[in-house]
Amino acid sequence: MFNKLALTTILAAPGVTAFTPAHSTSSRTTGTSLRSTVDPTVITKKEYQDICGVSFDDSNLAARLQKTSYLYPKHVEVIEDFAPMVDEMVDTILLETGDKAWQPQDYLPDLATDDYIDQIKDLREAAAGVPDDVFVVLVGDMVTEEALPTYQTLLNTFEGCDDPIGTTDSPWARWSRGWTSEENRHGDLLNKYLYLSGKTDMRSIEVTIQHLITSGFNPGARKDPYRGFLYTSFQERATKISHGNVGKLAKEYGAKDLQKICAKIAGDEGRHEKAYQAFSTEILKRDPDGLLMEFGDMMRGQIVMPAELMTDGKDAKLYENFSEVAQRLEVYTAIDYADIIEHLVNHWKIGELTGLSPEAEKEQEFICRL
């Protein structure tokens, strides 16, 4: 059979013409190239279909290619099954856009008014009373938010959740764009606040943001929507905690405007957290074995933070320094990390799942022991 293999790889040397099907004939007379060909003189169409599982002539070709184009076809089928619920959540979880939505300017001095200088003075006086360490964490949170292009890119790598043309009218694509539009306000608001506060070196911050976006971020999702939603379920809660605790510190030091800013952002993160946790709940209803296998695997590693590659081009330990300050101020700690895992295990009732495969039961036991 192998001497009739349909797909034969040949090295086309100078002056040699490689055979291609009649509908796409081409030749090379110069250079060297690796060519894949089908030679009808050594194989029939029936033999080709038996080997490849699909025919050139068959309308089955498009469907076959679509099914085999995914690394996780079963996972895609599962998330497509609850896409109608996602469609509703676009309207119930995400807020109105435009004039009906809150915007960064709602929480900042209005430079178009006559008293804008007084507004800025008030903001600066309040910011001056906030310790530098709190601003270190605030800057770290802002830089993390400003790397939003990376996060939307990653969201669009989750199979079945992508937006292939940029305006795709599917529930998952609409969710992706709506989530991004809400998240975009966070970095904008914190950036402008820090600029007006006069307490930070904005150019260095901008350099750091550019470095972070350029460096990228690998959450370990591997294009798998199951892993992606497990990660976002964790991360949105972690971000909510961090912003909320910075807001509490701001209030403690008399910076009420900063406290309101952080509380507003934390509120967004809380809504998004509920959505991603709901997505994972729906997956558990349909494929508990599959989600548990991925959940256990992710827990054997560590949930990495989005800004782990943060650098200003000078300090290789910039992220570690930021994390140490956040830990010391109890903005985000190892205890918070453990509490989030416990929250997810309880929220999804992992310990109560039954009818699992032996492999999934082992993952269930492992997860519940964390």
DSSP state of 149: H
Q: Which of 144, 208, 232, 239 is catalytic?
A: 239
| Cα–Cα dist 15/56, whole Å | 29
pLDDT at 59 (0 to 100): 56
Q: Residue 213: helix, strand or coil by DSSP?
A: helix
**What is the bridge-based pairing of β-strands 7-12 and 33-38?**
antiparallel
Overall pTM > 0.85: no
Report all structural domains of the chain as residue ranges with CATH numbers, in order of start.
Answer: 2-66 (no CATH), 72-368 (1.10.620.20)
| Cα–Cα dist 243/125, whole Å | 21
Q: Is 330 a residue of the active site?
A: no
pLDDT at 27 (0 to 100): 40
- Is 308 one of the annotated binding-site residues? no
- Is 347 one of the annotated binding-site residues? no
pLDDT in tens, the chain (370 residues): 444 333 333 333 344 333 333 444 444 444 444 434 456 666 676 666 666 555 555 555 555 555 557 899 999 999 999 999 999 999 899 988 888 899 999 999 999 999 999 999 999 999 999 999 999 999 999 999 999 999 999 999 999 999 988 999 999 999 999 999 999 999 999 999 999 999 999 999 999 999 999 999 999 999 999 999 999 999 999 999 999 999 999 999 999 999 999 999 999 999 999 999 999 999 999 999 999 999 999 999 989 999 999 999 999 899 999 999 999 999 999 999 999 999 999 999 999 999 999 999 999 999 999 9
Q: Name 54's bridge partners.
A: none
Q: Which of 179, 188, 272, 348 is catalytic?
A: 272
Q: Helices 288-300 and 256-286 meet at what angle, rounded to 10?
A: 130
Taken in order 217, 218, 224, 226, the sign of the CA dihedral is negative
Q: Is 239 a residue of the active site?
A: yes
pLDDT at 48 (0 to 100): 60
- Is 182 one of the annotated binding-site residues? no
- Is 145 one of the annotated binding-site residues? yes
Q: Which of 141, 163, 182, 269 is catalytic?
A: 269
Q: Is 102 a residue of the active site?
A: yes
Burial 211-228 (b: 16+ CB within 10 A, else e): bbbeeebebbbbbbbbbb
Q: Is 145 a residue of the active site?
A: yes
Q: Is 186 a residue of the active site?
A: yes
Q: Is 99 a residue of the active site?
A: no
Q: Which two tokens stand for residue 230?
A: 């497990």
Nearest alpha-carbon partner for 282 in 89, 142, 108: 89
- Is 269 one of the annotated binding-site residues? yes
| Cα–Cα dist 215/177, whole Å | 23
- Residue that has been written with the tokens 């991004």 in this structure: 180
Q: Which two tokens stand for residue 300?
A: 């054997």
Q: Which two tokens stand for residue 266?
A: 């934390």
What is the Cβ-side half-sphere exposure of residue 156, based on CA atoms within 13 angstroms? 20
Q: Which of 75, 141, 145, 188 is catalytic?
A: 145
| Cα–Cα dist 123/255, whole Å | 8
- Is 96 one of the annotated binding-site residues? no
Q: Is 343 a residue of the active site?
A: no
- How many residues in the chain? 370
Q: Which two tokens stand for residue 351?
A: 């310990």
| Cα–Cα dist 138/325, whole Å | 11
Nearest alpha-carbon partner for 344 in 286, 269, 274: 274
Q: Which of 268, 273, 282, 312 is catalytic?
A: 268
| Cα–Cα dist 234/287, whole Å | 20
Nearest alpha-carbon partner for 82 in 279, 290, 233, 294: 279
Q: Which of 144, 146, 172, 186 is catalytic?
A: 186
pLDDT at 42 (0 to 100): 66
Q: How would you class 310 by CB atoms within 10 Å of its CB: exposed for 0-12, middle for 13-18, buried for 19 or more? A: buried
Q: Which of 182, 188, 236, 273 is catalytic?
A: 236
